[in-house]
Amino acid sequence: MRRIPAELAKRYEAEGWWTRDTIGDLLARGLAAAPGAEFRVHSAVRPWSGTFHDVEQVARRLASGLRERGVGPGDTVAFQLPNWMEAAAVFWASAFLGAAVVPIVHFYGRKEVGYILEAVKPKAFVAAERFGRLEFRADLCADVPVVGVVGGATRREPRVEDFDDLLSATPLPAALPADPTGPALIAFTSGTTRDPKGVVHSHQTLGHETRQLTASYPPDRGHQLTAAPVGHFIGMVNAFLIPVLEGSPVHLTDVWDPGQALELMTRHNLHIGGGAPYYVTSLLDHPDFTRAHLRHMRYAGLGGSSVPAAVTTRLAGLGVHVFRSYGSTEHPSVTSSRFDAPEAKRLFTDGDARPGVEVRLAEDGEVLSRGPDLCLGYTDPALTERFFDEEGWYHTGDVGVLDEDGYLTITDRKSDIIIRGGENVSALEVEEVLLTLPGVAEAAVVAAPDARLGEHAAAVLRMLPGHRLPGLDEMRAHLDNSGLARQKWPEELHGVTDFPRTASGKVQKFRLRQDIAVRT
C-alpha cells in the first residue's frame, strides 16, 4: 500500500474525517435506526420487495454461514451480481465479518473475472447463475474455497452451493472487530484502460466518502432510483451505504432501460439524481419523456466522465438544477460544486475541493490530489508506486485548470490527447463542438493512425432517433463555423447506435481506437 504521511493521518483523525468505526459498525447503526425502510428491486427476472430488516437478516445469516466456513476479518469476499437483494446481503455480510468486499460488475466476462479473482484470491465468491450475458463459470473460481450461486441452477459443480444453502439458521449477532485502517473494499476500475486496476479502500477512506457524499446531497432530492451497477464503486455506495445512513428507501433496477426508468419514476415517485451524463440524457431523448418527468429530475449531479457544457446548459434550460463533480475510483470525491453554488460554477466547472481534499496542478497541467477519501493504493504494487508519491499525492492522469476561486475544470486526459504532426489536439474540445451539431446525442473523438502525421482525430457520433449521420463535409463546415482551428478537425467520421461503455456509463475510448485502427 502507499505511504500516508503521518501528519496527514493525524490531521484526518483530528478533524473527525477518519474514525475508529468500521463499515460494519456504520451499517449496524444505520440499519437499527430504520429497520422498516423499504428495499425494492425492480426486475423482470428477479423482483424483490421487503424492508431493511429483511435484508439485514439475510446478510447476518449469510455472515454466520460464511464464518462457519472459515471466512473472517482480513479475508476477502467477491461477488458478481446484478442489482439484486442478494448483492446487498453479500456486501453487508462482508462488512459485518470485517472482510474486504470485492464487487465485480455483472457484465464482466471470463477474462475480467478471471483476472480479478486471481488478483484478490477471495475466500468466498458469490455469483449469479445467469443474467443477460453473464453465465456462471465454475472453472474461473476453482481455487476459491467457498462458492455460492444465486438463481435457478441448471447445473452445479459438487463444490458449488446454492446461495440459500450458505445461510446459517442463526444470524451473526454483531459486527466482528476489525482494523479500521485495513482494507474494506477492493474496487476494480471500470475499464477505460486495458486491464482493470484493483483499488483498495480502507474502512476509514470509504466511511469518510460515504459520510461526505451523504452530507453534500440536496436535502429535498427525493427517493432515488439506482440503476448504476452495484459492482461499480459509485453504484455500490449509492445503493448500499448512503441510504442506510439516511434511513431512506432503496430502489434498484438491474438493467438500464430509459423507458422503464421513466415509468418507475412516475409510478413510484422516484427521482434520478444524476450520475454519468448518459443516464440523464438518455431519459431526455426517450420518446416517452414528457415535461411532467422533470419534477422527478429536480437535481442532476453529474460526474463519472467528462461533462459537456452542451449537456449542463440543456438541463439548466429545462429547469434542472445542475452541479458537477470530479473524482475516480481511486479518489472518489476530489471536487464538487455544491448544489447552492453560483450557476456558472455549477454548469461550467467541476467544482472546488471537498472537505479535507487538496488539489494542485503539475507543470504539465496534470491534476494531483490527496484527501481523507483517497484509497490506500492498488493490488499491484508497481501501479501504487507509479501513481502515488511520497508526499501522499495521487497523480490522476487528468489535465485541468483552476480558476481564481479554486474551482477545477478538467480539460482532458493525458492519454486522450491526439498528437497530430507534433500538435496537441484536445479530444474534449472537439467533442464539445460536435455536440452542438443538430441531431448529435453523443460524440467521442479519438486518435487514429496516420502514415503522414502519426495520428489524426477520428469522430464517432451517436445520433438522436430520426436524425441521420452528417457527412464529413457537413461536419467540417459546422466546425469551421464554430471557429475551431482546422488542424483540430477530425479527418474521419463514424456512426454508432451506441458506444462501448464501462459500468458507470463512460465511453471506452480504447475500444473505439482499436476498432478504428483495424479499419485503417
* C-alpha cell of residue 441: 446525442
Tens-place pLDDT, residues 371-395? 999 999 999 999 999 999 999 999 9
Strands 454-463 and 440-450 come out as antiparallel
Using an 8 Å Cβ cutoff, are 259 and 288 in contact? yes
**Predicted local distance difference test score (pLDDT) of residue 413:** 74
Model-wide pTM > 0.85: yes
**Predicted local distance difference test score (pLDDT) of residue 395:** 96
Average pLDDT of the chain, as a whole number: 93
**Predicted local distance difference test score (pLDDT) of residue 486:** 86
Phi, psi of 191 (to 5 degrees): 110, 20
- Whose CA is closest to 78, among 37, 123, 130? 123
Q: Show the low-confidence residues of the chain (pLDDT under 50).
A: 154, 191-193
Domains of the chain: 52-201 (3.40.50.980), 208-413 (3.40.50.12780), 421-519 (3.30.300.30)
For the chain, what percentages of helix, strand and coil (3-state, to nearest 5) are there? 35, 25, 40
